[in-house]
């Protein structure tokens, strides 16, 4: 079974530009989460989808961040316009709806560098 995949693995953009990150969850997982780790800090929650619906957006830092999950499959996270403080590693995770819904499986992350 394929794990969570993320694209790109690394992105370098200039301040003010737009970047879109993509996450493909484990097949059949209804729950999809975005987290990020900025330099020297712990991993922090951004938001949670159940299928195509946003269940919890409490961790989104501001309105420059837009997450979508059209069709309840893959998800995108767009940062527009990017700021220097957005640099970090963005992780996606997924979990099944039933069984052990609280166990989350992480992807390899996208390292975002804003210059």
Partner 1 sequence: QKEVEQNSGPLSVPEGAIASLNCTYSDRVSQSFFWYRQYSGKSPELIMSIYSNGDKEDGRFTAQLNKASQYVSLLIRDSQPSDSATYLCAVKWKDTGRRALTFGSGTRLQVQP
- Out of 19, 67, 109, 114, the only residue in the binding site for partner 1 (CB under 8 A) is 109
Q: Exposed (0-12), middle (13-18) or buried (19+): which is 33, by Cβ within 10 Å?
A: buried
Q: Is 53 in the site for partner 1 (CB under 8 A)?
A: no
Per CB under 8 A, the segment of 16-24, 43-51, 67-75, 79-87 that binds partner 1 is 43-51
Tally the C-alpha atoms within 13 A of residue 24's C-alpha that lie toward its C-beta. 9
- Out of 55, 73, 80, 115, the only residue in the binding site for partner 1 (CB under 8 A) is 55
Cβ–Cβ under 8 Å, residues 65 and 82: no
Q: Is 56 in the site for partner 1 (CB under 8 A)?
A: yes
Q: Which residue has the tokens 């999950």?
A: 69
**Between 2 and 41, how does the x/- string for binding to partner 1 read (CB under 8 A)?**
-xx--------------------------x-x-x-----x
- Out of 19, 95, 112, 114, the only residue in the binding site for partner 1 (CB under 8 A) is 95
Q: How far is CA 108 from CA 8, 56, 64, 74, 92, in A?
A: 10, 22, 23, 15, 8
């Amino acid at each position: 079974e394929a794990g969570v995949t993320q694209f790109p693995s690394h992105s370098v953009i200039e301040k003010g530009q737009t970047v879109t990150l993509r996450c493909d969850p484990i097949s059949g997982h209804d729950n999809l989460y975005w987290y990020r780790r900025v330099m020297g800090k712990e991993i922090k929650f951004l938001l949670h989808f159940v299928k195509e619906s946003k269940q919890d957006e409490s961790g989104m830092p501001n309105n420059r961040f837009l997450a979508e999950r059209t069709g309840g499959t893959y998800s995108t996270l767009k940062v527009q316009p990017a700021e220097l403080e957005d640099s970090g590693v963005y992780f996606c995770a997924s979990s099944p709806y039933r069984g052990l819904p609280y166990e989350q499986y992480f992807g390899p992350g996208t390292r975002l560098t804003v210059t």
